[in-house]
Amino acid sequence: MAKALDGVRILDFTHVQSGPTCTQLLAWFGADVIKVERAGEGDITRGQLRDIPDVDSLYFTMLNHNKRSVTIDAKNPKGKEVLEALVKKCDVLVENFAPGALDRMGFTWERIQALNPRMIVASIKGFGPGPYADCKVYENVAQCAGGAASTTGFDDGPPLVTGAQIGDSGTGLHLALGIVTALYQRNTTGRGQLVTAAMQDGVLNLCRVKLRDQQRLARTGVMEEYPQYPDGKFGEAVPRAGNASGGGQPGWILKCKGWETDPNAYIYFITQAPVWKDICKVIGREEWLTDPRYATPKARLPHLMEIFGEIEKWTMTKTKFEAMDLLNEHDVPCGPILSMKEIAEEPSLRDTGTIVEIDHPKRGKYLSVGNPIKLSDSPSDVKRSPLLGEHTDEVLAELGYSRQQIDELRAQRAI
Ligand code: COA
């Protein structure tokens, strides 16, 4: 079946996580993604967190599916010539080097436009223009500077980062959307453009509800759905909300049967107002239905922790899956806390291609996350990541280089 981005060629100058997640998505949608790496070393993640000696790490393989790898030394004059040929041939250049690195290679926006006015240049940087524009940034720096860490964790603990890679993979997603949008606009303008996504901005975009709360707090001095209400104190900034729901429906994480030994025997429980009657019945607290302290959502707010404590007495008598089944009969929104082991073994995620098993010539079989975005007319088949420089000769031949020229470039260490 044809793919949505068939015919789109991406010059992939990305490394580590943020940029590679973006180009991997584009590759899953059918773009031809040509990843440029340095001979001998390649993307630094090939060698990081290795579980098998001398074999590309899972860090690399899980972020670089469906791509081709070419080795080019961008600082070698002959290597630059190859890159220029690629710039002329490709539709999009994606990069997430440290600020200024692409310019230092000689590939300024002006130079790229001169070579190919239709080219879209897409960049991830840690920060946008401003005091930190020149800083190098990794995931957790972005989580801290984007507002996520100050609003994650418990009131009596330090700021916390989250395991979800909202700075890297989150910004990669933002950039991918920017790229397809620019490709769409190019259909009418005929011109390329610059697409930039700063990791701080991406994290902040995902923390939008916390900026909402900052303004609510400034106006009213209190947020009744936060665990600090009614007995704790609110300061000037949005506090850490523990496991409180970010929306208008109060929620919390509750222990389930086995919690004493299983660190993930918990369930997320949302006391959605329309099913309050059912919740009272299921947990055996029907007297709450007529008690004015519990009868309305507003009346319940000062008692939320007490209510969750009572519900927890019930959830502790069930496994998280039993609780889930019973609550779903009544449409009570809830979710088991799934460990990565449980997710890896979940058959329904295998069926949908969200978890896929891939075969790699050097490491054998491994699990990965497939494309979480499903297009009915452009299904994603996940192909293994390329070995370093696996496609150098193939791509150069497509650019018109002869066998002899390729050998010469290799002898000159340009590729
Ligand atoms: N040929 C020749 N040189 C190459 C090359 C190639 N194929 N690929 C990379 N390089 C060079 C770059 O030109 C750069 O050289 P310069 O410093 O002389 O200009 C050098 O390699 C290092 O690149 P840099 O991006 O500075 O790598 P780093 O390992 O020092 O920093 C980051 C890594 C991630 C901190 C940095 O790239 C960054 O801040 N990126 C933007 C934010 C981001 O995406 N962060 C998240 C990463 S998951």
Q: What is the pLDDT of residue 1?
A: 83
Interhelix angle 18-28/168-189, rounded to 10 degrees, is: 50
Which spans in 90-130 are helix H? 101-104, 109-115
Amino acid at 294: Y
User: What pTM, to 2 d.p., does this model score?
Assistant: 0.96
Q: What is the pLDDT of residue 247?
A: 80
Ligand 1 binding pocket mutation candidate from 86, 97, 105 (most atoms within 8 A of CB): 97
389: left (phi over 0), alpha (psi -120 to 50) or beta: left
d(CA 380, CA 372): 9
Q: What is the pLDDT of residue 285?
A: 94
Q: What is the pLDDT of residue 402?
A: 98
User: How many A from CA of 103 to the centre of ligand 1?
Assistant: 12
* Cβ–Cβ under 8 Å, residues 150 and 198: no
Q: What is the pLDDT of residue 246?
A: 79
Nearest in space to 195 (alpha carbons), one of 186, 206, 203, 204: 186
pLDDT < 50 positions in the chain: none
Q: Residues 12, 43, 56, 168: which is the catalytic one?
A: 168
The verdict on whether 168 is a catalytic residue reads yes
DSSP state of 150: G
Q: What is the pLDDT of residue 261?
A: 98
* Cβ–Cβ under 8 Å, residues 335 and 328: no
